[in-house]
Amino acid sequence: MAGNRGVVYTGAGSVEVRDIDYPDLVLREGPGVPKENVGRKCEHGVILKVITTNICGSDQHMVRGRTTAPEGLVLGHEILGEVIEVGRDVEFVKKGDIASVPFNIACGRCVMCQEQKTHICLNTNPERAGAAYGYVDMGGWVGGQSEYVMVPYADFQLLVFPDREVAMEKVLDLTMLSDIFPTGYHGAYSAGVKTGSTVYIAGAGPVGLAAAHSAQLLGASRVIVGDLQDERLKQAESFGCETVNVSKHDRLSEQIENLLGVDEVDCAVDAVGFEASGHGADGGEQPAAVLNSIMDVTTAGGKLGIPGLYVTEDPGASDKEAQQGTLKVRLGLGWAKAHTFVTGQTPAMKYNRDLMKAILSGRADIAKAVNATVISLDEAPNGYQDFDKGAAKKFVIDPHGSLK
């Protein structure tokens, strides 16, 4: 049997590349696997040889020790690969297919999946609605920052690319379809971005950059991106965004007015989440800072897209309320302005096929927008460190040297 290696969470601040089990079509006992999921047969699944798998900001929350993720968890929910084995019940996906894997694990059978709400599938995680690869409290499914991975419900889930050669030529763009591009797009779309909109994007990490590029695709007239890191803001500027360094200004509304002539935007996106910082030089960590700021700068009746991650347990938070996911959100402000809030994980399958067509046609240039940077599997621990320091890059792991 072939070997397998993967990126493993080994405790707060630490990941290692280790030998891990070669996948088969069963979910076996392991770190974070609920008792009810142990031994779950997946003849509806496939084994993928991973071509690319990306480091995500959501992974970084776990690696920082800001979740209850168990040590030994194999990380990685952004996966693109080649099918090398198909289960008995797989009818349409074939060996040799190259496909993107939506990060949401969804059965395709429950009422949520039938309504395109694949982010809250009722059947893949016995502990709560919604499942994902290599992530805390998401059903225990083994992550894909590895050489090989098992993907269940393959006929329903896999986005198979129509042309193998074209897929490999565009692989740095197509690898973003598993999560980051649909997530950024969902943030902009659910915020109501349309032709002529003025948009504020909080966060210039990869999801924020993807949201900014998505806002441009949706027709926004002005896209303003805020962050603490000048390097990341320069990356946003590289494809036509305007920027604000929120560490240098206490009041975001004043900076919006300096750019637009008015102190509010039509809509806003939170691409930061619970590890937010307050504005100004002495802001410090303030988990609700982004939510409150985007309510402040979004016009009455506007929509707020919130793809940024918020958790039910944050052991690294500075106060007991935040450790339980209870934040000091100015809900009265949002209520008074009749804002619409759209939260939760992104239903990637709702968007990924159309975004694939945008990539293949040359309409979307997502790899350039997020500064896709290829590294080897062995370089993954350094990639996590660089990403944690604010590198303006989206790290793409190439486990087999397929892209060289």
For 180-193, how does the pLDDT look when each residue is reduced to its tens digit (9 = 90+)?
999 999 999 999 99
Cα 18 to Cα 145: distance, rounded to the nearest angstrom: 11
Q: How many domains does the chain have?
A: 2
Cα 276 to Cα 327: distance, rounded to the nearest angstrom: 11
- Boundary residue ending a domain (296, 311, 342): 342
Residue 10 CA neighbour count, 13 Å, CB half: 10
Residue 251 CA neighbour count, 13 Å, CB half: 6
Looking at the fold, whether 207 and 174 belong to one and the same domain comes out as: no
Which range of residues forms the domain containing residue 226? 184-342
Looking at the fold, whether 196 and 131 belong to one and the same domain comes out as: no
Over residues 313-324, the mean pLDDT reads 85
Examine residue 142 and state whether it is found in any structural domain, yes or no: yes
Give the model's pLDDT for residue 319: 82
Examine residue 404 and state whether it is found in any structural domain, yes or no: no
Beta strands in 172-231 (DSSP E): 198-202, 222-227
pLDDT of 8 > 70? The answer is: yes
Q: Read off the CATH number of the domain in which 108 is found.
A: 3.90.180.10
Looking at the fold, whether 48 and 165 belong to one and the same domain comes out as: yes
Looking at the fold, whether 315 and 381 belong to one and the same domain comes out as: no
Give the model's pLDDT for residue 1: 55
Looking at the fold, whether 249 and 356 belong to one and the same domain comes out as: no
- Boundary residue ending a domain (301, 324, 342): 342
195 pLDDT tier (thresholds 50, 70, 90): very high
Looking at the fold, whether 212 and 140 belong to one and the same domain comes out as: no
Q: Where is average pLDDT lowest: 154-158, 266-270, 283-287?
A: 283-287
Examine residue 281 and state whether it is found in any structural domain, yes or no: yes
Looking at the fold, whether 145 and 196 belong to one and the same domain comes out as: no
Strand partners for 132: 104
CA distances from 310 to 187, 207, 274, 320 (A): 14, 14, 5, 15
Over residues 121-137, the mean pLDDT reads 97
Looking at the fold, whether 16 and 54 belong to one and the same domain comes out as: yes
Give the model's pLDDT for residue 4: 98
284 pLDDT tier (thresholds 50, 70, 90): confident
Residue 8 CA neighbour count, 13 Å, CB half: 15
Query: Residues 250, 256, 259, CA angle at the centre, nearest 5°?
Result: 125
84 pLDDT tier (thresholds 50, 70, 90): very high
Looking at the fold, whether 133 and 152 belong to one and the same domain comes out as: yes
Dihedral sign (CA 365, 104, 404, 234): positive
Instruction: Provide CB contacts within 8 A for 28, sequence distance 6+.
Output: 21, 38, 39
Over residues 68-75, the mean pLDDT reads 96
| 374 CB burial (10 A radius; 0-12, 13-18, 19+) | middle
Cα 379 to Cα 374: distance, rounded to the nearest angstrom: 10
Instruction: Give alpha helix (H) positions in 108-179.
Output: 111-114, 154-157, 164-169, 171-174
pLDDT of 316 > 90? The answer is: no
Query: Residues 253, 219, 256, CA angle at the centre, nearest 5°?
Result: 10
Examine residue 165 and state whether it is found in any structural domain, yes or no: yes
Give the model's pLDDT for residue 324: 85
pLDDT of 88 > 90? The answer is: yes
Looking at the fold, whether 267 and 355 belong to one and the same domain comes out as: no
- Boundary residue ending a domain (325, 342, 359): 342
Give the model's pLDDT for residue 147: 98
Strand partners for 14: 11
Q: Read off the CATH number of the domain in which 221 is found.
A: 3.40.50.720
319 token code pair: 């106060």
Cα 158 to Cα 168: distance, rounded to the nearest angstrom: 17
Over residues 378-390, the mean pLDDT reads 95
Examine residue 306 and state whether it is found in any structural domain, yes or no: yes
Give the model's pLDDT for residue 325: 84
Query: Residues 274, 277, 283, CA angle at the centre, nearest 5°?
Result: 150
pLDDT of 296 > 70? The answer is: yes
Selected residue with higher pLDDT from 225 and 2: 225
124 token code pair: 């893949």
91 pLDDT tier (thresholds 50, 70, 90): very high
243 pLDDT tier (thresholds 50, 70, 90): very high
pLDDT of 134 > 70? The answer is: yes
Examine residue 403 and state whether it is found in any structural domain, yes or no: no
313 pLDDT tier (thresholds 50, 70, 90): confident
Looking at the fold, whether 122 and 212 belong to one and the same domain comes out as: no
Cα 183 to Cα 166: distance, rounded to the nearest angstrom: 24
Give the model's pLDDT for residue 315: 87
Name the nearest CA neighbour of 20 among 165, 161, 149: 149
Looking at the fold, whether 310 and 381 belong to one and the same domain comes out as: no
